[in-house]
């Protein structure tokens, strides 16, 4: 009788212990869907008209609020959804709610990135990226605007891919040690470009983000980069190239401008990059050469022409009483065309920028940038057009 009562008393506790153990295992194994998804973003508000000397000096691809009638301007408003939803599957979606399709239309929502990474091995050293994402061409092109020092990307390399993105499939490879290093260059505030592999290769439409494909020819791109540490310094050197045929949309042509029969033009470039990360002094430089469609004022036609240009940026990372100050100077030069603009607008750019980024805390940054610029930008409507001037630009950025 005593044994019977003892068993009755112990048995429920045994069951309870087993139940608690099962619950604990379930808690470890099963996660809610939102446990694998994160949200972050940033917003940039600008004013470009201080100390302005020429209201006709503009930069369409840089910032539509340059020049005449420009005022306060929301340059970017990004909300990013991302997560490692499976050991080998990562997703990233980034809309921008401050897109400006034209100078008189602001604050449209538009997809910037929408892709997923598929890892081939357990460490995801080999992975494929499918969807709309950045084309691996140029360090500054891949560097997030959230991290970049100058307010706009340089004309020479950015003219290769408007908005830096296109729809395609890209292969990335990097050892896990290098992936960790590339991530730390962003997370530690050293203005890295992010993890785009040591080697990259891809195929994409070639008409740039959010535009339909207009021919049966894909663009192909390849990039090789290598970051390494030398004592206390970190250096990264890169080579990249792409080739394809770009179709000039009819909507981008002025009435009367001459083109070839099918509006398909050879589009190919190669570029070299060098980065000395700011610890505390930094240098960032890139140069590109190539050929592509360009407006020719002497014949009122669009022809395949050569292009070349680049930039060099020097910076100093300084911590002052818990704040970060990063003074910088950038000079850029470009002689070529911007194929995405009206009539594949022809350019010659000489520009010097002197500025400082102040990071009050991780959530707020302020950039003051004085620009001294001379730009020749010509199309069928304005076959002779050179503007030069100076302006003081200010940007406030909130990170969340």
The 10s digit of each residue's pLDDT in 238-279 is 999 999 999 999 999 999 999 999 999 999 999 999 999 999
Give dist(CA 168, CA 204) in Å, integer: 4
81-102 in b/e form (b: 16+ CB < 10 A) is bbbeeeeeebbbbbbbebbbee
pLDDT over threshold 90, residue 168: yes
Model confidence at 222, in pLDDT bands (50, 70, 90)? very high
Question: Residue 19 — pLDDT band, cuts 50, 70, 90?
Answer: very low
C-alpha triplet 7, 11, 13: angle, nearest 5°:
130
Q: What is the secondary structure of 135-166 as a DSSP string?
A: -S--HHHHS-TTT-SSSS--HHHHTTSGGGEE
Q: What tokens appear for 298 in the block?
A: 């002497």
Closest C-alpha among 255, 75, 68 to residue 150: 75
Q: Answer yes or no: are the C-beta atoms of 227 and 206 closer than 8 Å.
A: no
Q: Give yes or no for residue 203 having a pLDDT over 60.
A: yes
113 or 62: which leads in pLDDT: 113
CB atoms within 10 A of CB 386: 12
pLDDT (average), residues 365-394 = 98
pLDDT (0 to 100) of residue 5: 42
Q: Give the pair of three-digit tokens for residue 361.
A: 């805390």
Six-digit token pair at 81? 């959804």
User: What is the chain's mean pLDDT, rounded?
Assistant: 92
**pLDDT band of 314, cuts 50, 70, 90:** very high
CB 234 within 8 A of CB 190: yes
- The per-residue pLDDT for range 76-126, each reduced to its tens digit, is 999 999 999 999 999 999 999 998 776 677 888 999 999 999 999 999 999
What percentage of residues in the chain have a pLDDT greater than 70? 92
What the block records as the tokens of 149 is 């020092």
pTM: 0.90
pLDDT at 35: 87
What's the mean pLDDT in 177-200? 95
Instruction: Assess contact for 372 and 352: CB atoms under 8 A.
Output: yes
Specify whether the CB–CB gap between 313 and 284 falls below 8 A: yes
Q: How far is CA 131 from CA 52, 90, 118, 205, in A?
A: 41, 12, 11, 11
Rounded mean pLDDT, 282-288: 98
Q: What pLDDT score does 105 carry? A: 77
Residue 24: predicted pLDDT: 45
pLDDT for 25: 46
Q: Indicate whether 29 pLDDT > 90.
A: no
Average pLDDT over residues 33-59: 95
Q: Which domains does the chain have, with CATH numbers?
A: 37-399 (2.40.160.10)
Q: What local confidence, expressed as pLDDT, does residue 103 receive?
A: 62
**Contact indicator for 160, 242 with CB cutoff of 8 Å:** yes
């Amino acid at each position: 009788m005593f044994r019977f009562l003892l068993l009755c008393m112990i048995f429920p506790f045994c069951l309870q212990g087993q139940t608690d153990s099962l619950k604990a295992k379930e808690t470890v194994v099963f996660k809610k869907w939102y446990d694998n998804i994160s949200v972050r973003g940033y917003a940039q508000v600008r004013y470009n008209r201080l100390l302005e000397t020429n209201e006709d000096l503009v930069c369409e691809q840089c910032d539509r609020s340059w020049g005449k009638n420009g005022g306060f301007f929301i340059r970017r408003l990004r909300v990013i959804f991302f997560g490692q939803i499976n050991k080998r599957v990562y997703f990233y979606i980034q809309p921008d709610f401050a897109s400006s399709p034209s100078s008189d239309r602001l604050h449209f929502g538009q997809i910037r990135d929408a892709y997923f990474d598929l890892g081939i091995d357990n460490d995801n050293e080999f992975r494929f990226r499918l969807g709309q994402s950045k084309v691996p061409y140029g360090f500054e092109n891949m560097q997030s605007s959230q991290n970049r020092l100058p307010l706009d990307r340089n004309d020479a390399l950015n003219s290769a891919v408007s908005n830096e993105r296109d729809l395609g499939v890209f292969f990335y490879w990097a050892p896990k040690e290098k992936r960790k290093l590339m991530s730390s260059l962003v997370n530690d505030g050293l203005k890295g470009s992010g993890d785009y592999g040591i080697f990259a290769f891809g195929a994409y439409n070639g008409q740039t983000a959010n535009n339909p494909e207009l021919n049966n020819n894909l663009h192909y791109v390849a990039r090789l980069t290598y970051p390494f540490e030398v004592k206390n310094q970190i250096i990264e050197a890169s080579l990249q190239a792409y080739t394809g045929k770009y179709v000039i949309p009819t909507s981008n042509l002025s009435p009367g401008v001459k083109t070839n029969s099918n509006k398909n033009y050879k589009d190919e470039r190669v570029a070299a990059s060098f980065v000395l990360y700011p610890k505390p002094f930094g240098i960032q430089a890139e140069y590109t050469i190539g050929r592509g469609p360009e407006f020719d004022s002497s014949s009122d036609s669009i022809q395949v022409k050569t292009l070349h240009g680049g930039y060099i940026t020097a910076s100093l990372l300084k911590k002052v009483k818990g704040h970060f100050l990063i003074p910088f100077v950038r000079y850029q030069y470009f002689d070529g065309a911007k194929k995405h603009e009206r009539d594949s607008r022809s350019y010659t750019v000489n520009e010097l920028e002197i500025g400082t980024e102040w990071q009050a805390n991780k959530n707020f940054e302020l950039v003051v940038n004085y620009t001294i610029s001379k730009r020749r930008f010509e199309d069928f409507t304005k076959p002779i057009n050179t503007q030069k001037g100076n302006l003081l630009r200010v940007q406030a950025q909130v990170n969340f």
